[in-house]
Amino acid sequence: MLKRISLAMLLIIPAGCATDYKSESFRGGYSEVRLDENVFTVRFAGNAYTSPEKAADFCLLRCAELARANGYSYFIVIDSSHYIKQSTVTTPATAYTTGSGNTFGTATAYGNQATYMGTTYGQSTTTTYGGQTYVLSKPRPSNTIVCFKEKPTGGAFAYSATFLVNSLKGKYGIEN
């Protein structure tokens, strides 16, 4: 029953569509956790059609949007991880059998009893369709960021939140 539901869910999802830039749902998206006043962990869950590069960009875009939404102009990524969640899907298998045969022999009947003595010869062919297993790789980047109102000094690379939002939204054709 669970396999049927899972397969039905796959059929509902349009084939070939990467995860959109949106809040997380069953099809993926971004999520965040606030760890301190100016510290956040942001994750992006891509589906099997989302490239690792796009998932990393969308994670970074959400970092920049969070910084701006909370009154910060800059942020530093203090921890980053990128992993791939793998799962498998197996399509259902269907088998079709066709056959033909010939019977050779004699039949005799006495009253209401009949007997048959003979041999049946034939052949059959079974063809199986489906049953393939596919490996699905889903990118899962994560960034922990510290936000700043002014550009920090001292050697750490700081992203400009406004520049990054404009750049990544332009790259992916996302409207402001």
One pLDDT digit (tens) per residue for the chain, 176 residues: 444 444 444 444 445 788 899 999 888 999 999 999 999 999 999 999 999 999 999 999 999 999 999 999 999 999 999 999 999 999 999 988 888 877 776 666 676 776 767 677 788 898 888 889 999 999 999 999 999 999 998 888 999 999 999 999 999 999 87
pLDDT score recorded for residue 116: 67
Annotate 148-158 with b (16+ C-beta within 10 A) or e (fewer).
beeeeeeeeeb
pLDDT score recorded for residue 85: 95
pLDDT score recorded for residue 170: 97
Find, among 146, 130, 27, 152, the residue nearest to 80 by Cα.
146
pLDDT score recorded for residue 95: 87
d(CA 46, CA 58): 9
Which helix (H) or strand (E) covers residue 162, if one does?
Answer: helix 161-172
pLDDT score recorded for residue 69: 98
Find, among 142, 148, 152, 150, the residue nearest to 37 by Cα.
148
pLDDT score recorded for residue 4: 43
